[in-house]
Amino acid sequence: MRTIHFLAALPLFPVFCAEPKAIRAAETHPLNVHDLVTLDRASEPAISPDGRNIVFTLRTTDLEGNKGRRDLWLVKSNGTGLRRLTSHPAPDYGAQWAGERTVVFLSSRGGSSQIHTIDIDGGEAESVSELPVDVENLRVSRDGKLFVFSAEVFVDCADLECTAKRDKEIAGRKATGRVFDSLPFRHWDTWSNGKRNHLFAMPRGGKPVDLMRGIAADGPTRPFGGVEEFSLSPDGKWLALTFKAPMGSQAAWSTNEDVWLVPTDGSAPPRNLSQDNAARDQQPVFSPDGRTLVWLSMKRPGYEADKQRLAVYDVRSGEKKYLLEDWDRTPNTVTFNRLGDKVLLAGYDLGQHSIFSADLRTGKVQTVAKEGHNDSPMDTGQGVVFLRETLGSPADFWVADGGREKRLTELNRERMEQIRLGSYEQFTFKGAKDDTVYGYVVKPVDFDATKKYPLAFLVHGGPQGSMANDWHYRWNPQTYAGAGYAAVVIDFHGSTGYGQAFQDAINHDWGGAPYEDLMKGLDAAVAKYPWIDGDRACALGASYGGFMINWIAGNTDRFKCLVAHSGNLDERMAYFDTEELWFPEWEHGGTPWENPEEYKKHNPIELVKNWKTPTLVVHGALDYRVVDTQGMSVFTALQRKGIPSKLLWFPDENHWVLKPANSILWHDTVLGWLDQWLKQPKKG
């Protein structure tokens, strides 16, 4: 997920970053939720083989339809020539290049998700598949003659037609009950339907071949962006992919995901390349010449937040070595440069999400782009192009070359020119274990140093995550700054980007060092910034952050209000509710019956008797990671104790809030709760 000391903060940056215009104009306004929801969002960039063009998905918001719309856009790698490539009511996404001028992508414009192509020089998109099931997660060979994609199938079916026929038969049944005989029976927000996600290779004009035929395991399922988990060799002959070996219910408590290699003609079954490692292996990527395969590899079985090293595999000889063993950062994405002698990595580093390069011969790591949240690096031959967002700006394309950086696009320029934001600063203080802990503070919009401002104190989830220098579409400090609040975030023990020891410190200590960091961080911020009114503060968090809000409620009454989103009340029962058992088993040192004291020592339910603080509870019915009965239990306890409280429950949302109208309701309800308890007029 998942005693207060006074101490002044140690400054890191003495001057506030003021990316937005500082001059207040009559035609501008503070950022609000409608601005946040309707900003355009760039993702899934893919660079052409010659390095000259980038195709990407741009998500716009259809408020009337209450959904996001996805179109493909094109921009030259020097930032010029920005234009929309597709325009259709159905979503277009997952674009790949087939040569220099042709883009292959997925679209449901025909009713189901199928493969389409379009020429970047003009013309209409053409469908090149008419398969009986939905297609996801696309790869294409350089010559455009081979497509690799994923699809949900019944393992015992010989072809896709069999799966489609069985789907129709099931839909026609009057009985709706399902029988399960193993875990997991549901995942994230979806119940198991007996199918598995398999990868297929299909020659253009030919029939698809199931590359995982007969294997009761799920291949990659990453629609609409995210980490990529399979790679097609440059010659189109081999596919590297990740999946857990069939292990029945053990899949629910094992992180042993392996990298497999399979010929795309289906002439042999997948071969396990990481069988010697019982921990997670992921994100295989072929080098430009196809001779080398790299992937990210963990060491400790059962731990999903372990440090990731780089596995380097020689495709011809089968020799394997590991790099980055001594680098005390953990990358979360990897790709090759154009020459194939280095890899580009992205990962958290001291409150930033930076891009690095690593030499495959020496293992030497260098920083390519540091400040902000940087991701999706692409080597053009003239520099590295990437997507960057910050606390003051949504995502745009930038280029880094030899230490110089340049912004290439302003995708939301007209919108952002109408919005006023708060300036922000990173600060440090001495936290638990006498370690240096980092945080950010965001000033209210139209800041006046003579005033005292109420505080929104945001607690991140994960817990191995970070409240870093990025632009978030729900937990964005700028939405609170726009509503007249100061915002403070703390990267407590357990946060990523500060070394593995700092990250591991939260294991078996959920309510210990992280709670101490948060309280000391709040003290430090109030001491350093006298315009923050520490007596008018509300703490808010989701997932682990929601757990922490419930824990805070039992340990201190220093906050005027609390907001707990998707947080556990009872860690013991949460173990039996969730679908990924490896997570609580690692974090709490085993099962509840093997190690009951670990589940009890930092369990919010043990301290309900101390609760006093008014609390807003938020949960989604489709949240199977932290089930909604946990949130309902929090609300029940608050109501039974007579504590002012509200429950915002979404029947159609999961662990996140995704629908535009629901996001607006979420923000309006949360900010209304803060206004009620922090902006009440003084009596007398």
Q: Report the catalytic residues.
A: 543, 623, 655
Calpha distance 639→646 (Å, rounded): 9
Q: Where are the beta strands (DSSP E) in 380-505?
A: 384-390, 393-401, 404-407, 419-420, 424-430, 436-442, 453-459, 486-491
Which of 355, 566, 398, 580 has the alpha carbon at shortest distance from 475?
566
CA atoms within 13 A on the CB side of 113: 17
The first and second tokens of residue 370, run together, are 């540091």
Calpha distance 33→144 (Å, rounded): 42
Q: Residue with structure tokens 């309800």?
A: 669
Calpha distance 420→443 (Å, rounded): 12
Query: Across the chain, which distance is largest between two alpha carbons, in Å?
Result: 84
Phi, psi (deg, nearest 5) at residue 422: -90, 145
* Residue 405: C-alpha distances to residues 75, 339, 386, 458, 561 (Å): 18, 21, 11, 31, 42
The first and second tokens of residue 19, run together, are 């990316």
Other C-beta atoms closer than 10 Å to the C-beta of 602 total 21
Calpha distance 413→134 (Å, rounded): 36
Which of 269, 325, 265, 338 has the alpha carbon at shortest distance from 297?
325
Residues 6+ apart with CB under 8 A from 178: 191, 192, 193
Q: Decide: 202 and 146 in contact? Cβ < 8 Å.
A: yes
SS3 letters for 238-303?
EEEEEEECCCHHHHHCCCCEEEEEEECCCCCCCEECCCCCCCCEEEEEECCCCCEEEEEECCCCCC
Q: Tell whether the torsion through CA atoms of 246, 250, 252 and 256 is positive or negative.
A: negative
Calpha distance 459→551 (Å, rounded): 12
The first and second tokens of residue 177, run together, are 């009950």
List residues bridging with 356 in a β-sheet. 345, 367
**Strand, coil or helix: what is 53?**
strand
Residues 6+ apart with CB under 8 A from 442: 391, 422, 423, 424, 477, 478, 480, 481, 486, 487, 488
List residues bridging with 404 in a β-sheet. 401
Q: Decide: 321 and 358 in contact? Cβ < 8 Å.
A: no
Calpha distance 334→354 (Å, rounded): 12
β-pair type (92-98, 209-210): unpaired
